[in-house]
Amino acid sequence: MIALIDYRAGNLTSVRKALAAVGADAFVPAQAKELGSVDGVIIPGVGHFGATRAIDRPWVDAIRARLDDGVPLLGICLGMQWLYESSEEDPDLAGLGVFSGACARLAGGSASLSVKVPHVGWYTLQLSREAWITRSVRDGAQVYFTHSYVAPITAESVAVTTHGDSFAAIVERGSIAGVQFHPEKSGDVGLQILRNFVARTSAVH
């Protein structure tokens, strides 16, 4: 069973339908203690980084405990940004900090560049290394983005996308992964990403 964390900023219905399409069971826990027996955790999200304030200490502790047990975690869009230490969007609010660095606003919002922010639409993934989260995803595949802030390109980056700036589109370390785009809105490629996550949840048993 996969837990979808609800902090009132996530596209839970669409993510749940996409998971059902790949044969996975998902539920929305009402209390942090319900994470004790799950096989995987997904942090979906849209909107402002400040919304993650609702993931308070009991939830953080429960999520970290599952990570310590090797349970896979997937962050989607804002959920991926929350995996970092912080974001310029709400500098006083800490993220989970499982990936180093801070998320920043796309520089495409400056007058010197002609790209629009928010970054919305179908854009290309440039794969940079092999990873379980991108198994059977081809280099150059297109996925659907809608966001204004991005994560830095680091050793954990699996794929990058360019929109004014180049930024981390997919990251992975161990059983933790994040995608800046919305797999639930990205057609067959997005469903393959979710299949890979579901397969990882089975592999930990």
Count the residues in the chain. Answer: 205
- Contact criterion met (CB below 8 Å) for 148 and 117: yes
Q: Is 184 annotated as catalytic?
A: yes
Closest CA to 43 of 98, 107, 116: 98
Task: Exactly one of 89, 156, 172, 184 is catalytic; name it.
Answer: 184
Phi, psi of 10 (to 5 degrees): -105, 150
Q: Is 77 annotated as catalytic?
A: yes
Helix (H) or strand (E) holding 59: helix 57-68
- Contact criterion met (CB below 8 Å) for 156 and 134: no
| Beta bridge partner(s), residue 157 | 171
Task: Exactly one of 119, 147, 163, 182 is catalytic; name it.
Answer: 182
- Contact criterion met (CB below 8 Å) for 191 and 177: no
Query: Radius of gyration of the chain from Cα atoms?
Result: 16
Task: Exactly one of 48, 77, 85, 156 is catalytic; name it.
Answer: 77
* DSSP three-state, residue 71: coil
How far apart CA 160 and CA 202 sit, in angstroms, is 27
Active site amino acids: 77, 182, 184
